[in-house]
Homo-oligomer: A and B are copies of this chain.
C-alpha cells in the first residue's frame, strides 16, 4: 500500500514488515510484469529505459518484483541504460527507501546485480506529471491508485466510501472517476510508444468483494462500529466522527476499464489500450496462520491489528481536533484499536483482511 497522502508513516521497515500480504499481492503479479516487459517492442541501443514504482512507500514490498523485472529488462536490452524511479509523496520516508534499495538494511536488494542502472526517487503526486513526455517504459503501481486527490464530501454514517450511500456515495464515485482518468491521461503522455502500465489496484470485484470484505466480517464496518463506540462513549465529538473519511475510492472493474473502451474518452484518444484485466483475492496471511496453523485467538488478535493500523491510523488520527493534547489523541487511537483487537480476540472467526485487487495491463499504441 502507498501513503500517497500528506502523512508521515512509521519508518525503519515497519511498513514492509507489517504488510506481508501487500508483498504477496505484488509477487503474485510478477508473471504479468514479465509478460509486459516481454511484449514491449522497442530496439536495444543507447536510449534509456525507465521503469517506475508509483506509490512505493519504503520500497520493501516491491523489491523482489522490481529486481526480477529489471533483470528481464537488462536481459532483453543488454545495452540500454536503465532508470528505476520510485515515487511517493514528500513526507514518505525516502531515506528508508534508499537504504533498502542500496542494500543498507537486512532486506535483500537487486542493487549491484544489474549494470548500467540508475535509481531515483520522485515526490510528485501521481495525480500530476512525474516524467517527461514519452520517456516511461514500464509504469508499475500497486495498492496506491485508490488514494484520491481530495475528499469530495464527508460521509454522514460511515468512515469509508464503501459504506456510504446516496449522494455521498455518488460524490466519491465521481471523484474516483475523475482522478482515475487524470492518472491515466498523465501516464499515457509519459509512456513511450509500446510502453506498458502494470497496475494492481484496490477495487471491488465482480462479486462485490473488496479489502476486508470477502464473505466474513466486514473490516470497514468494524472500523466504523468501533469508531462510533468512541463517539457514543463521548471520547470523540460528532464533528470528529464526521471528519473521519478515508481519502480513498474503491472502483469496480467496469469503472477501471471504462476509459479504455469508450472511444471518446481522453484516455482512449491518447492511445492507451486495455491488454489484460483480472480480479484476484489474496488471502490474509494472519487469518490463514490462525485458521490453518496456531489457532491461538490472542496471538491472531495481536498480530492482525498492526497490519490494519499501519495504513488506517492516519484516517482516524487526522480527524481528531488539533486542540486536543497529543497524549489525549494517542490515547483515543490506542483505545480504538484496542477495542478492535478485543473483538478479534473474543470472536476471531470471520475476521480477515483479504486483499482484493483489480490487475490491469495497459499498452500505449
Chain A interface residues (CB < 8 Å from chain B): 8, 46, 48, 81, 83, 85, 90-95, 98-99, 101-102, 104, 116, 118-124, 129-135
Contacts and interface: CB of A to CB of B under 8 A. Distances in A.
A118 B116 CA distance: 22
Can you list the 4 inter-chain pairs with the closest CB atoms, starting with the nearest?
A81-B132, A98-B123, A94-B94, A90-B98
A93 B98 CA distance: 11
A49 to B, nearest CB: 10
A6 to B, nearest CB: 8
Contacts of A48: 132, 135
Contacts of A92: 95
Contact of A95 (B90, B118, B135): B90
* Number of this chain's copies in the complex: 2
A85 B132 contact: no
Given A118-B132, A121-B120, A124-B118, A90 B99 contact: yes
A146 B48 CA distance: 31
A46 B135 CA distance: 11
Contact of A90 (B81, B104, B123, B132): B104
A123 B104 CA distance: 12
Contacts of A122: 118-121
Given A48-B135, A95-B92, A85 B123 contact: no
Given A81-B135, A90-B95, A118-B130, 8 more contacts: A46-B134, A81-B132, A83-B132, A90-B98, A102-B124, A119-B122, A119-B123, A121-B122
A85 B120 contact: yes
Contacts of A94: 94-95, 98, 121
Contacts of A131: 118
23 contacts: A8-B95, A48-B132, A81-B132, A81-B133, A83-B132, A85-B120, A90-B98, A90-B104, A93-B95, A94-B94, A94-B98, A94-B121, A95-B95, A95-B123, A102-B124, A118-B122, A118-B124, A119-B122, A119-B123, A119-B124, A120-B120, A120-B121, A121-B122
Nearest to A103: B90
